[in-house]
Amino acid sequence: MHRQITKPQFKRAWGRRGPGEGEFRRPWGVAVDGQGHVYVTDHGNDRVQKYDAHGTLLGEWGLPGTEPGEFDGPRGIAVDGDGFVYVADSGNARIQKFNPYGILVRVWGGPGEAHGSFRNPWDVCVGPDQRIYVADRDNDRVQKFDADGGFIRAWGTAGHLASEFYGPVALATNRHGHVYVADFDNHRIQVFDREGTWLNSWGAFGTGEGEFHNPRGLAVGPDDLVYVVDHDNNRVQMFDLEGTYLASWGESGDAPGALNRPFGIAAAFDGTLYVADTFNHRVQQF
């Protein structure tokens, strides 16, 4: 029996290109905390911006640089159950942890291939057990840490088979602790348990239903739906937890609801969705 699905409808958008307050230069990652606050990595401006659910700017932090609290092309972002914010500081090959007001709490990582080191970390997410997962793109692996940055395990290697990656770029977890990985240049989603054991995969290159052209964003909603940002097809596709295609929305353009090479997506506790419409330099709410 097919599940009845209602496509998300456009609600509002905010942002435009620029370096000022409420402006973006390629918003990349987006995350929502338990109070409905929306955090956005402003990739080209090397900062994080914080909004309420209506798009009102509440604060921002970050400057270009290599010192703690500074950024070099921040990408993925996540918030844990205590409100701490984790940022994949890609150009500096590290993860930075902040409190909800942008005060730096911890930094870990550094360039390299050893456990706990990174080569271009693209995304970070928090599991239901408050473990931290990082998409270590150029090392073609996922790394798992505790909330203080203590290394737990890693899995993945370069390739096209199950458990292999060709550029893991986005992560999400479901309520069971399963880890969903956007395997960018393999044009697929792979699913693992919390120990890194392969469970499932779906997708192939293309423009049809359930096909992808460089998937770049992932979220699992409170409705147990998996949302995949299909970057070069300028759409978001919806699946059940097992990868059955359900629906999609979006088209190329800059009208409300249209997309221009989107990257990140986040699902709030009430099911509201936020999409980083990257090359339209805005965030859209559905």
For the segment 111-136, what is each residue's pLDDT rounded down to a tens digit? 999 999 999 999 999 999 999 999 99
Average the pLDDT over 253-275 and give the result.
98
Q: Is the pLDDT of residue 242 over 70?
A: yes
pLDDT at 3 > cutoff 90: no
Return all residues near 235 (Cβ < 8 A) that are at least 6 apart.
Answer: 248, 249, 250, 251, 259
Question: What pLDDT, on the 0 to 100 scale, is given for residue 237?
Answer: 98
- Checking if the pLDDT of 41 tops 70, the result is yes
User: What percentage of residues in the chain have a pLDDT greater than 70?
Assistant: 99
Mean pLDDT of 221-250: 97
Answer whether 164's CB lies under 8 Å from 214's CB: no
Mean pLDDT over residues 6-14, rounded?
96
Q: What is the pLDDT of residue 5?
A: 84
Q: What is the pLDDT of residues 155-178, one digit of tens each?
A: 999 999 999 999 999 999 999 999
Residue range 263-269: mean pLDDT, rounded: 98
Q: What is the mean pLDDT of residues 175-204?
A: 98
Least confident range from 1-15, 31-45, 60-74, 146-160: namely 1-15
Indicate the pLDDT class of residue 2, thresholds 50, 70 and 90: low
Write down the mean pLDDT value for the chain: 97
Q: How many CA atoms lie within 13 A of 272 on its CB side?
A: 22
Secondary structure (DSSP) of the chain: -PPP-------EEE--BSSSTT-BSSEEEEEE-TT--EEEEEGGGTEEEEE-TTS-EEEEE--BSSSTT-BSSEEEEEE-TT--EEEEEGGGTEEEEE-TTS-EEEEEE-BSSSTT-BSSEEEEEE-TTS-EEEEEGGGTEEEEE-TT--EEEEE-EESSSTTEES-EEEEEE-TT--EEEEEGGGTEEEEE-TT--EEEEE--BSSSTT-BSSEEEEEE-TTS-EEEEEGGGTEEEEE-TT--EEEEE--BSSSTT-BSS---EEE-TTS-EEEEEGGGTEEEE-
